[in-house]
Amino acid sequence: MSKPAVLVVPAGMGDVGFLSRIVEMASTAFEPAGGLRMLVSLEGVSLPISLVDLDRMQYRAEDVNRYLASMFEGYLEPRRRMVVAVVEGDGYVHGLNFVFGLATPEIGVASVYTRRLEALSPGLYVERVAKEVVHEIGHLLGLGHCSNPHCVMSFSNSVSDVDRKEAGFCNSCVLKLSRLMV
């Protein structure tokens, strides 16, 4: 059986070079578990303004994922063929002030929001977004949060949590992933 595939789609991100660096870093994280196929979509998506909560100026992340699922209906196959959108902007879900990203495993779609991950150093920015992309793909493949604070699957409440964790999975998550990815 072929490796699971992830299509990374820019939403409002004009820079394909930036996304390629993210994908390069993110795909490395999956190598110890057997590897994923990650592709950057050259064609971006433009998210309709109806997905933005105008009182908060934030995307409603659950609605964004549903919208992407309808857009990529013919491609998606949960756990086998997934879509991750890198969204230039901020997102939230009900009950939280913001999210760095949201995965909806049952439809195979995740979105990552770049606004709060921005950094003066381009290298740090790429690293932060890559970590969140890896984290959300981990959820799409069936992983939960990890109690190891250095593992990419640890929950991040703040950008300093994101900086603390590594871009890779701890040994226990690698083991779980390699079982989930067959």
Q: Which of 119, 163, 155 is nearest to 138 (CA)?
A: 155
The whole-angstrom separation of Cα 56 and Cα 122 is 27
Is residue 127 among the annotated active site residues?
no
Is residue 151 near Zn ion by the rule CB under 5 A?
yes
Place of tokens 């196959």: 77
Question: In this structure, are residues 38 and 8 in contact, taking their beta carbons and an 8 Å threshold?
Answer: yes
Size of the site for Zn ion (CB under 5 A): 6
What is the crossing angle of helices 122-140 and 16-30, to 10°? Answer: 50
Of the ranges 28-36, 44-52, 108-116, 151-159, which one interacts with Zn ion (CB under 5 A)?
Answer: 151-159
Considering beta carbons, is residue 72 or 100 the nearer one to Zn ion? 100
Is residue 170 near Zn ion by the rule CB under 5 A?
yes
State in Å, rounded, how far the first CA of the chain is from the last one: 8
Of the ranges 2-10, 40-48, 117-125, 166-174, which one interacts with Zn ion (CB under 5 A)?
Answer: 166-174
The whole-angstrom separation of Cα 58 and Cα 102 is 13
Of the ranges 20-28, 33-41, 81-89, 152-160, which one interacts with Zn ion (CB under 5 A)?
Answer: 152-160
Cβ neighbours of 5 (radius 10 Å): 15
Draw the binding track, 108-147, toward Zn ion (x: CB under 5 A; -: no contact): --------------------------------------x-
In whole angstroms, the minimum distance from the beta carbon of 13 to Zn ion comes to 21
Is residue 173 near Zn ion by the rule CB under 5 A?
yes
Considering beta carbons, is residue 41 or 148 the nearer one to Zn ion? 148
Within 13 A of 154's CA, how many CA atoms are on the CB side? 19
SS3 state at 102? strand
Q: Which of 31, 43, 132, 136 is catalytic?
A: 136
In whole angstroms, the minimum distance from the beta carbon of 105 to Zn ion comes to 11
SS3 state at 108? coil
Query: By the criterion CB under 5 A, which residues form the site for Zn ion?
Result: 146, 148, 151, 153, 170, 173
Residues noted as catalytic = 136
